[in-house]
């Protein structure tokens, strides 16, 4: 990748997002680190990358459930003067049991997982056209195979999955749009899941192990570097869907 290229990654202060940022930066890109509440993590990551290469990283705070997508794109352009890659990584994830679903649940899960990626893509379109750039949406294997008590989340990710196909047609030939559907990559932050439950999940994965954030970051690099792929969703789940 050329050193001047610029990537915007949402939800990038920690966990998978921070690995994506580090990987893109290591491969020559300048990066805009979006975060919602992980300010300390985002600032630490930004300082680390700028120590390696001056003025190569910046941060931006926004709650994607309630914001103007144009502001985030305009900030990226104001700082770096171009945009080559938009990674819609931010996600909201929690159970919504039928009979207890509220409009707040619907708005929160759809606004972050489907609405924000769409409006960010729309705002980024003119700049990505100039650079023949990429949009990559993070989906979920459960967009294809919904799980119990997670209906709204799964529906939102399914909408984002369809968005990839729709935008790939609409934005071709100058912008490529793809997606990644992770399986078991990281346990939740509030990791109070019993070891027995974890092993039960791993046993249902064909490769008998969980993945790592680097598996996701490496797939993003593959999609960025292969300029003859658009409208595709790559499943990175160790074969979990094979055993459902």
The catalytic residues are 153
CA dihedral of residues 214, 216, 221, 224 (deg, nearest 10) = -170
Question: In terms of C-beta distances under 8 Å and separation of at least 24 residues, what long-range contacts does 189-192 make, across chains too?
Answer: 189/15
Cα separation of 171 and 122, whole Å?
A: 10
Q: What is the DSSP string of 40-86?
A: HHHHHHHHHHHHHSTT-EEEEE--TTSS-HHHHHHHHHHHHS---EE
Cα separation of 123 and 192, whole Å?
A: 39
Cα separation of 129 and 151, whole Å?
A: 35
Contact 85, 29 (CB under 8 A): yes
Torsion angles phi and psi, residue 89, rounded to 5: -100, -30
Q: Which two tokens stand for residue 206?
A: 């064909």
Those residues with Cβ within 8 angstroms of residue 194's Cβ, 6 or more apart along the chain or in another chain: none
Three-class SS state of 32? strand
């Amino acid at each position: 990748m050329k050193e001047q290229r610029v990537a915007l990654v949402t939800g990038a202060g920690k966990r998978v997002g921070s690995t994506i940022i580090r990987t893109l930066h290591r491969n020559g890109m300048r990066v805009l680190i979006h975060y919602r509440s992980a300010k300390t993590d985002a600032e630490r990551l930004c300082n680390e990358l700028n120590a390696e290469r001056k003025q190569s990283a910046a941060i931006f705070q926004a709650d994607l459930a309630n914001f103007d997508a144009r502001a985030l794109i305009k900030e990226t352009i104001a700082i770096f003067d171009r945009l080559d890659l938009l990674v819609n990584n931010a996600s909201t994830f929690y159970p919504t049991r039928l009979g207890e679903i509220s409009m707040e649940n619907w708005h929160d899960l759809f606004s972050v997982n489907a609405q924000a990626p769409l409006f960010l893509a729309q705002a980024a379109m003119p700049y990505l056209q100039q650079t023949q750039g990429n949009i990559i949406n993070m989906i979920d294997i459960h967009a294809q195979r919904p799980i119990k008590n997670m209906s709204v989340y799964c529906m939102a990710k399914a909408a984002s999955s369809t968005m990839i196909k729709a935008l790939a047609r609409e934005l071709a030939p100058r912008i490529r749009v793809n997606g990644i559907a992770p399986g078991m990559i990281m346990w939740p932050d509030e990791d109070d899941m019993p070891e027995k439950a974890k092993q039960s999940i791993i046993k249902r994965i064909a490769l008998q192990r969980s993945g790592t954030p680097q598996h996701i970051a490496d797939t993003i690099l593959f999609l960025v570097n292969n300029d003859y792929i658009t409208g595709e969703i790559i499943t990175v789940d160790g074969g979990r869907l094979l055993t459902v």
